[in-house]
Every structure is written in C-alpha cells, then in structure tokens.
Amino acid sequence: MNLSFDNTQNAFAYKSTPELKKAKFLISVIQNPFMVKLATKATPFLMKIGFPINGILRNTVFKQFVGGETLEESARTAKLLASYGVQVILDYGVEAKEGEANFDEVTSHIIESIDFAATQSNIPFVSVKLTGIASHLLLEQLNEAPRLRSGIHDSESENAAWQRVRERMYAICDVAQEKGVGILLDAEETWIQDPIDRLAIELMSVYNKEKVVVYNTYQLYRNDRLHFLQLSHDIAKEGSFLLGAKLVRGAYMEKERERALKLGYPSPINISKEATDKDFDAAAKYCIENKDSISLLLATHNEESNIAIATAMENVGLSKSDGKVHFSQLYGMGDHITFNMAVAGYNVSKYLPFGPIREVIPYLMRRAEENTSVNGQTNKELVMLKKELARRKASK
C-alpha cells in the first residue's frame, strides 16, 4: 500500500500559479471565523439592496467552489478535471424557494443534469437535495408524525404534497436508471431526515435490484447512524435489493447542538470528533466487508479515512477501479487527496455544484461556515498551497 497525498505537483497541476495564489488568499480568509461571519451576514444584505457584488463573488468564492453558472460552464470544468483522471458529482446548487412551481422547476433542472451527465464520460453521479423539491415544513411535519406499525408516518399516505414529492423523485430516478447515472440523495438536519431516509429505502427497493442507482447519505457525526447503516443493510437484504451508501461526517453540527440545547433534548451528535471518526471508519469498513451487497461512496477530506479504505479494498481483493467503491472531495478543497488518488488509479470525483451566482449564495455561505468549524481543514489546505507555490518558485 503506497498511496500518498504529499505530491503537490500532482495535486495542483490543473491550476496556474496566479490561480494558486488566489486560492491561498481565499482559504486564508475562510480560516478566519470573524471574516466568515461578517461575509455571511453582509453578502445577502448587499445583494438585496442591489450592491454590485456579483463580480467580486464570481472571481473569489464562486470560482473556487462552484463549477459554473450553467451546465455549459460546468462542462468545461468537468472536461478539465477529466484530463487528470478525476470524475464529477454534479449538483444543481440552487436551494428552491417554497412552492410547488419552484419544486417542479428544480426537478426539471435535476433531470437536465442527469441527461447532461449521461453525455459525459466522467460524470457518474448527480446529487439531489430533497429540500430542493419538497417543503421544509412538510418534511418536518412528517418527521414528527407518529409511525404506524407498517413504518409509514401517520397521514403520510393521504398527504397530496408528499405524493408529489415522491412523484418527482420517481421521475428523477426513472431517467437516472435509463441513462446509467447514479443518484445521491443528500442528508439533511435530524428534524427532517426521517421521511428522507424512508423515501431513500423505498427508491432503493425499486431501482437497486440489479445495480446501485440510488444512494442514501449517512452523516456519521450523528450517534445513531452507524446502527442505521447496518439496519438499512438488513432491510436491503430482506428486500433483495442492493444498498447504496454515501458516507460523510456531516454538515450541520453546530446547528444540531444549538437546537438540542434550546429545545431540551439530547444532542444527536457524537460527543467528540474522535467518536465521529470511529463511527465513520467503522461504517466504511462495514461497507467494504459487505462489498457484494453495498456500493460505497466515501466523501471525506480525512486522509486517514481514505487510506484506511484504500487498504481495506486491497485486503478484500477489490481493485482500485472497482465500481463498488468511489471516493470524493469538494471542488475547491482537498486537491492533494483527489488528484493523487486519481494518479494512483482510484475512482475519485469532485463534488461540483453549479447554478446562477445569486441562487448559489446559500450554498457558498454554508460552505464557508462549515470550513471554519472543521479544525485543521483549512490549515492543511494552506500548507499544501504554500508548499506547491514554493516548489514552483524553486523550479524556475
């Protein structure tokens, strides 16, 4: 096992020196919690009053973390990544406003993304956020509703709005299955996650009979998700379908803890990062050990977790390019992992959101806030960027 993430020449070959310097400056800013807090409050306000901020955003956070405003722009980014052996998870990054017409519009954009992905050799997946096609309030109401003995939420079967959500997801999955594109159903906050999980299992039971089309996302910073992954696998075996598992550590930790404290219920989040790491690695190992019935998408910037699963693949006889295991990092982050894994021959992708600048702002603000809450993540990015800039300077 000789996988290493130290080669910065591999990691940043796709970026020019001016682009590296700009990335270094941006990551330095993101590392400052005060600056991030200021930006996340000021940016929406400035846009609301019509301040011409789009140009600034386009050349900074948007260029760093987003593939483009349109599918055509994203195609150029995807083609660039493909030339380095890197695949793409395409995500229509617009967070829909409430209303059935808006939900239908987002559904259309997702289906367009699937059609587009099918024409590209390096876009095996499209990501879907259910909150883009369903009312947040509806999901919360279903999450809180008591379950019947059948497992269905009380009033779920009579709820016309929920039926429309299901119809949207079936329409998306029908096209995905026909075109050979995987669907990654994103995880959300705990108070709306239960109906999403139930729908994910339902969709997998329909579309994952022969091969994995639908993946559910398991946030392992939750203290119940390792068990839920194992339960999902048991359900899949009983139902004679394959499980698609996308593993992440999680994206809503601070919000989850604050809500639990405010409402007086036990926090659903693991008590420490060490506990989260332990659950994450155990979940990933479980998927590898059950490779015949689980397809794994390992979405992490943690070097140790990536190496552990690459080693586990070798131990169970899975080739680096076996389609049952896929690695992924965010576009604009973790290049030292992504590009070195690509050089080594693994299936590895960048999570590539796209959409109009004004509409993708919520995604960008959340990404900035997440990065400040991950200890050491931005510092590691800076170290690698500085190392590559120094290498290029010395080689002149």
Each residue's pLDDT tens digit, 219-277: 999 999 999 999 999 999 999 999 999 999 987 788 899 999 999 999 999 999 999 99
Domains plus CATH for the chain? 65-360 (3.20.20.220)
Phi/psi of residue 8, each to 5°? -75, -20
pLDDT of 310 over the 90 cut: yes
pLDDT at 159: 87
Model confidence at 45, in pLDDT bands (50, 70, 90)? low
Element (H, E) at 381: helix 377-394
Model confidence at 35, in pLDDT bands (50, 70, 90)? low
Q: Work out the mean pLDDT of the chain and round it to a whole number.
A: 90
- By the 8 A CB rule, do 76 and 68 touch? yes
pLDDT digits (tens, 9 = 90+) for 183-218: 999 999 999 999 999 999 999 999 999 999 999 999
pLDDT of 389 over the 70 cut: yes
CA dihedral 85, 185, 371, 369 (to 10 degrees): 140
pLDDT of 59 over the 60 cut: yes
Model confidence at 82, in pLDDT bands (50, 70, 90)? very high
Q: Is 250 left (phi over 0), alpha (psi -120 to 50) or beta?
A: left
pLDDT at 63: 86
Number of helical H runs and strand E runs in the chain: 17, 8
Model confidence at 164, in pLDDT bands (50, 70, 90)? very high
Phi/psi of residue 71, each to 5°? -60, -35
329, amino acid identity: Q
| Global pTM value | 0.92
For 16, 105, 153, 305, 371, the CA distances from 13, given in Å and listed in that order, are: 8, 38, 51, 24, 24
Q: Residue 265 burial (CB < 10 Å; 0-12/13-18/19+)?
A: exposed
For 19, 130, 329, 344, the CA distances from 357, given in Å and listed in that order, are: 20, 21, 22, 35
> What proportion of the chain, given as a percentage, has pLDDT over 90?
74
> Which among 221, 283, 291, 215 has a CA at the least distance from the CA of 251?
221
pLDDT digits (tens, 9 = 90+) for 312-345: 999 999 999 999 999 999 999 999 999 999 999 9
> Of the spans 31-35, 140-144, 322-326, which averages the highest pLDDT?
322-326
pLDDT at 322: 96
pLDDT of 79 over the 60 cut: yes
pLDDT of 371 over the 70 cut: no
pLDDT of 105 over the 70 cut: yes
> What proportion of the chain, given as a percentage, has pLDDT over 70?
89
Model confidence at 34, in pLDDT bands (50, 70, 90)? low
